[in-house]
Amino acid sequence: MKKLINDPADVVAEALLGIAAAHSDRVRVDHDNHIVYRLDAPVQGKVGLISGGGSGHEPMHGGFVGPGMLDAACAGEVFTSPVPDQMMAATKEVDGGAGVLHIVKNYTGDVMNFEMAAEMAAADAGTEVLSVVTNDDVAVQDSLYTAGRRGVGVTVLLEKVVGAAAEEGRPLQEVADLARRV
């Protein structure tokens, strides 16, 4: 497989530059923290939606930020989970007063770091944060190499479904419950 990479050390930064250049009418990018935000975030009275993960699978998640989808996406280094400080910054930035939902893929680093960020946000800013972990990958249910089923294919569909619910103004608990049903 061929890839368009100038320098492996610059992959994440250049991917974010590309998203910012291609979609400046929809998103803004925090280049220091590697976060893609919905242009109008925070939306007052709306549940904020955040996801993220290791880079290298673009357009996941940054390509799914905007109205009716995510409010922010945290980009980790290639195949590496984003760090809690990124998620904390994103959580603060998209909190419009209705709480924030973290959509987390079932990878050990993602789960651990998003949990830490949720605890930090609650302690620091008093932000109500709920999390849902996606774990739809039936191929590895009994694998010795993973911590259960990973979250793969369903994640973007879940982001769309709960993104629409959040955009309609549904409350945090209802959006989280819907996410768990998806």
Could you give all domains of the chain from N- to C-terminal order, each with its CATH number?
A: 8-181 (3.40.50.10440)
Q: What is the mean pLDDT of residues 130-145?
A: 73
- Write out the two tokens for 32: 């220091």
* pLDDT given for residue 122 in this prediction: 87
Averaged pLDDT score across all residues of the chain:
90
pLDDT tens-digit readout, 150-160: 667 788 899 99
Per-position b or e across 126-148, b if 16+ CB within 10 A of its CB: ebbbbbbbbbbbeebeeeeebeb
Lowest mean pLDDT among 59-63, 67-71, 86-90: 59-63
Residue 170 reports pLDDT greater than 60: yes
Q: How confident is the model at residue 28 (pLDDT cuts 50, 70, 90)?
A: very high
Confidence (pTM): 0.90
